[in-house]
């Protein structure tokens, strides 16, 4: 499944309708048994410059009621991040140019983010006078540690693709003209894997971020019980016995 943010004239900034579309597409993907992987990218020179706050603040009509953000954002920007993080399919994000604000966090919530070597990751929330959202304060410390997270959030420091790779913020960076091939190869590899087991592993990794060792071991036990009931598990054993590459079907 390919999700393309297609608004290059505005650096792929996301309006309300676009965010709703992302939520709907990811919700559908979560229950589609035919899907094997999700590819997220942006059209043109940039991945995503975040929410289109200019359009939001200049919209015609009455001012939003007090508490509007508290009611709305959990079902929009926050829901997109939650779905990317929890969907039991591998998610690969391709980044060119700017990945800022929500756009940055979309990239960080993916399982693998591959960036062109000229890409820039930026969390500009405090630079614009408001506090972070869309998972910044949860994702960044887990990926790069609290000290570096503070530099990105409190100081608004921009991080280039090479530094982002070195920090562990993203999976890898490649020359811009090699990005499409690198992402395609990674997607093919993931799509050929045991999809159910991949999803269970994603779930266990997320659970382990706030669980004790004993709790994680118990979670792994139940996940293993489910994985052993799949067709891919049987195929994996057969391929091992026959000394061949397994032909996983995602079931």
For every residue of 80-129, DSSP letters joined together read HHHHHHH-SS-EEEEE-SEEETHHHHHHHHSSEEEEETT-EEE--TGGGT
pLDDT of residue 74: 72
Residue 12 in this model has a pLDDT that exceeds 90? yes
- In this prediction, residues 164-188 reach a mean pLDDT of 97
Residue 55 in this model has a pLDDT that exceeds 60? no
Residues 85 and 98 grouped into a single domain: yes
- Domain of 68, CATH number, reads 3.90.226.10
Structural domain containing residue 163: 2-191
Residues 128 and 226 grouped into a single domain: no
Task: Say if 247 falls within a structural domain.
Answer: no
CB atoms within 10 A of CB 194: 21
Task: Say if 57 falls within a structural domain.
Answer: yes
- In this prediction, residues 75-93 reach a mean pLDDT of 92
Residues 145 and 233 grouped into a single domain: no
pTM: 0.90
At 48, is the secondary structure helix, strand, or coil? strand
Least confident of 20-24, 41-45, 64-68, 175-179: 64-68
Residues 102 and 172 grouped into a single domain: yes
Number of domains the chain contains: 2
Residues 207 and 182 grouped into a single domain: no
Residues 69 and 10 grouped into a single domain: yes
Token couple for 251? 């079931």
Residues 105 and 199 grouped into a single domain: no
Spell out the residues 6+ positions from residue 112 whose beta carbon is closer than 8 angstroms to its own.
90, 91, 92, 93, 171, 186, 190
Residues 79 and 175 grouped into a single domain: yes
Spatial contact of 133 and 77, defined as CB atoms under 8 Å apart: yes
Task: Say if 250 falls within a structural domain.
Answer: no
Residue 35 in this model has a pLDDT that exceeds 70? yes
Q: pLDDT averaged over the chain?
A: 92
Task: Say if 248 falls within a structural domain.
Answer: no
Residues 99 and 172 grouped into a single domain: yes
Residues 157 and 207 grouped into a single domain: no
Residue 10's Cβ-count burial label (10 Å; 0-12, 13-18, 19+) is: middle
Token couple for 51? 């929410």
- Categorize the per-residue pLDDT at 194 as very low, low, confident or very high, splitting at 50, 70 and 90: very high
204-228: buried (b, 16+ CB within 10 Å) or exposed (e) per residue?
beeeeeeeeeeebeebbeebeeebe
Task: Say if 41 falls within a structural domain.
Answer: yes
Residue 66 in this model has a pLDDT that exceeds 80? no
At 173, is the secondary structure helix, strand, or coil? strand
Residues 26 and 85 grouped into a single domain: yes
- In this prediction, residues 56-73 reach a mean pLDDT of 58
Residues 42 and 103 grouped into a single domain: yes
- Domain of 218, CATH number, reads 1.10.12
């Amino acid at each position: 499944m390919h999700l393309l943010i297609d608004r290059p004239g505005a650096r792929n900034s996301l309006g309300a309708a676009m965010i709703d579309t992302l939520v709907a597409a990811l919700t559908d993907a979560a229950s589609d048994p035919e899907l094997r992987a999700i590819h997220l990218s942006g059209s043109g020179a940039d991945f995503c410059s975040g929410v289109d706050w200019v359009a939001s603040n200049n919209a015609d009509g009455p001012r939003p009621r007090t508490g509007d953000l508290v009611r709305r954002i959990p079902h929009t920007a926050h829901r997109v991040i939650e779905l990317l993080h929890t969907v039991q399919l591998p998610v690969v994000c391709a980044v060119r140019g700017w990945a800022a604000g929500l756009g940055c966090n979309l990239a960080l919530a993916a399982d693998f983010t591959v960036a062109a070597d000229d890409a820039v990751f930026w969390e500009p929330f405090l630079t614009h006078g408001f506090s972070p959202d869309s998972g910044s304060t949860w994702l960044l410390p887990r990926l790069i540690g609290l000290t570096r997270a503070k530099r990105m959030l409190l100081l608004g420091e921009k991080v280039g693709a090479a530094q982002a790779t070195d920090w562990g913020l993203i999976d890898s960076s490649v020359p811009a003209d090699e990005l499409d091939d690198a992402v395609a190869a990674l997607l093919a590899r993931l799509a050929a894997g045991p999809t159910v087991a991949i999803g269970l592993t994603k779930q266990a990794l997320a659970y382990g971020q706030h669980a004790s060792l004993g709790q994680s071991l118990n979670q792994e036990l139940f996940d293993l019980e489910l994985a052993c009931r799949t067709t891919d598990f049987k195929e994996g054993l057969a391929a091992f016995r026959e000394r061949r590459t397994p032909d996983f079907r995602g079931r």
